[in-house]
Structure 1
Amino acid sequence: MTNQLDGRVIVVTGAGRGVGREHALLAAAEGARVVVNDTGTGADGRGSDPAVAAAVVAEITAAGGTAVASTDDVTIIDGAQQLLRTALDAFGAVHGLVNNAGILRDRMFVNMSEEEWDDVITGQLRGTFAPCRVFGAHWRDRAKAGDEVKASIVNVSSTSGLIGAVGQSNYGAAKAGIASLTQIIAQELGRYGVRANAITPVARTRMTQDVPGIKELVAAPEDPEAFDVFHPGNVSPVVAYLLTEQCPATGSVFYAKGGEVRQFLPWTYGRVIDKGARWTVEELQKEMADLV
């Protein structure tokens, strides 16, 4: 059955290439009207090219779908507000937000510059914060005005943040922050009819194609008939499902790779020791062995 997003307006950031492009194409194929947001920067966040977003809009339109382009910078509130305005001006409403935009600058931690740290935190974490903040306020105001809101936010975390990856302390810190942000805004915005979830995609993207060891791992199979486990389009049905009006999920993080979907379990308490009084260091030298 198609048209699972019929009548919904979906905004996808970082939708000009790779996984984001696939999200936008599938949303349109499922009947959504789509705002394709992309500044056209390189994977490291440098440069810009408005033709990148325009090309995806043209692809959607050629296939019979409906889309408009946005090149707004979603790492700032003003840019996120303009993105919302683009959706409202074009389609009169907005029902879903996919925060896919982000950058990558790998470096071993002790060699990392302040710029490399700040740019990735900005491009990833603030690039998720600003649209969530602006769109969340819009949906809250609609709900308070008496409108029925059935909105969905899908953020993008990473195993780099939830499990860890050498050389990606900046990226991992941002992605872990996005997972936590998702859980918190799900709690805060749920009363207004807004759900929030995150995915951790495992796919072939610009961010993986140049990473030694990873590039070979995610390469397309030589056999054209074989299932391409790491094709970025494999992740998009999970995103589209989370964007559907009746999807019950909220506050969750889902791992998506090929045909595999897993739910991440949140941080939880493990084993405990309790003396019932203040410990001494000497006591902990012995008792902490059970915890570490």
Structure 2
Amino acid sequence: MPFPYKTVLITGATSGIGEALAERMIASGIFVIAVGRRQDRLDALVAKHGADKVAGEAFDVADLEGMGDWAKKITSKYPTLDCLVLNAGFQRTLNFTSPSTVSLPLATAELHTNYLSPLYAITHFLPHLTALSPAPAAIVLVTSGLAVIPLPRCAGYCAAKAALHSLAWSLRAQLAGPASPATHHVRVVEVLPPAVQTELHPQQADLVAEGQDRPGIPLEEYIGETWDELVRGEADEVVHSVHRDRLGRSEGLRREGFEQFVEVMRGRGLKI
């Protein structure tokens, strides 16, 4: 099914992949609810495109306790919201060979933003998306190729994205399952970017010092292919061609095993 959603909320929409996706959606006539912490950037996005095409909503998605009230405010203010793009995230080095350099508060914040925030958002927004039936709705989770093949330098980031990757599989199976017809209209799509030239790496002082802060492919090149895949609407996992074969080899047997396991459990009348 081609991208049918008309009111899309994007977290982390003030830079990088989130901002680039917002630009593509606005250009396609989709109303975007741009979410970020930086009010000045949200204001600039609205000033650029107009309040009839985009709304800026300042919120720190790491505020897990405030997520419920915020979700109620958003769904009341934008009742046509039919798609979440949960994209916000950040990455830091986690070096266990030098334990004194490990910041546990920072590692906790990384887990909150990269995994717990999407988990909370799904939980709080899903009743609204379910109520849209039979109109289509979607949850788009932006994870990473590092969810499948981790990079030891940023172990915390990889682990959080791997958890979100696993959650995407389970969430999709639950919502599409025969025992839950009320949620069959809610699609779960995962986007697994490779390294992309965004603010993710320049924000890391150690990478800047070593001249390693601009890895990956140009943002526009990445977004062009990714947006085309989202519009095509055929894939539950949107993987860029730069690492599609590698991730496919890594995940093929695991995905087959997961689907067989789910079917066996359903066949035995057991909860999945």
TM tier relative to shorter chain: 0.7 to 0.9
Q: Cα 1:236–1:189, aligned 2, differ >3 Å: closer, same or farther?
A: farther
Of the three residues 112, 115, 120, the one matched with 2:110 is 120
Whether the 8 Å CA contact 1:25–1:60 is kept in 2: the answer is: no
For normalisation by structure 2, the TM-score amounts to 0.75
Residue number in structure 1 paired with 2:262: none
CA distance in 2, matches of 1:29, 1:171: 31
Residue number in structure 2 paired with 1:78: 66
1:59 matched to 2:48: yes
Whether the 8 Å CA contact 1:14–1:101 is kept in 2: the answer is: yes
1:268 matched to 2:250: no
**Could you report, residue by residue, the CA deviation over 1:48-69 in whole angstroms, capped at 9, with x for unpaired residues?**
xx1122222222229xx60111
1:89 matched to 2:74: no
Residue number in structure 2 paired with 1:129: 119
How many angstroms does 1:129 deviate by? 1.1
How many angstroms does 1:101 deviate by? 0.5
**Could you report, residue by residue, the CA deviation over 1:152-182 in whole angstroms, capped at 9, with x for unpaired residues?**
2211212323111122111010010111111
CA distance in 1, matches of 2:117, 2:144: 15
Matched AA of 2:70: Q
Q: Cα 1:267–1:126, aligned 2, differ >3 Å: closer, same or farther?
A: farther
How many angstroms does 1:267 deviate by? 6.6
For normalisation by structure 1, the TM-score amounts to 0.70
Larger Rg: 1
% identity of equivalent residues: 20
Instruction: Quote the RMSD (CA, aligned, Å).
Output: 2.7
Residue number in structure 2 paired with 1:235: 222
What SS class does the counterpart of residue 126 from structure 1 fall into? helix
Q: Cα 1:241–1:8, aligned 2, differ >3 Å: closer, same or farther?
A: farther
How many angstroms does 1:97 deviate by? 1.0
1:206 matched to 2:195: no
CA distance in 1, matches of 2:5, 2:253: 39
1:22 matched to 2:9: no
Q: Cα 1:231–1:80, aligned 2, differ >3 Å: closer, same or farther?
A: farther
CA distance in 1, matches of 2:228, 2:243: 12
CA distance in 2, matches of 1:138, 1:54: 27
Greater relative contact order (Cα < 8 A, sep 6+): 2
Residue number in structure 2 paired with 1:69: 56
Whether the 8 Å CA contact 1:88–1:94 is kept in 2: the answer is: no
Q: Cα 1:17–1:6, aligned 2, differ >3 Å: closer, same or farther?
A: same
Whether the 8 Å CA contact 1:154–1:196 is kept in 2: the answer is: yes
Residue number in structure 2 paired with 1:255: 239
Q: Cα 1:216–1:22, aligned 2, differ >3 Å: closer, same or farther?
A: closer
Aligned residues: 234
Gaps of 5+ in 1: 41-49, 219-229, 270-292
Residue number in structure 1 paired with 2:159: 173
1:38-49 alignment, distance < 5 Å: 38-40=36-38
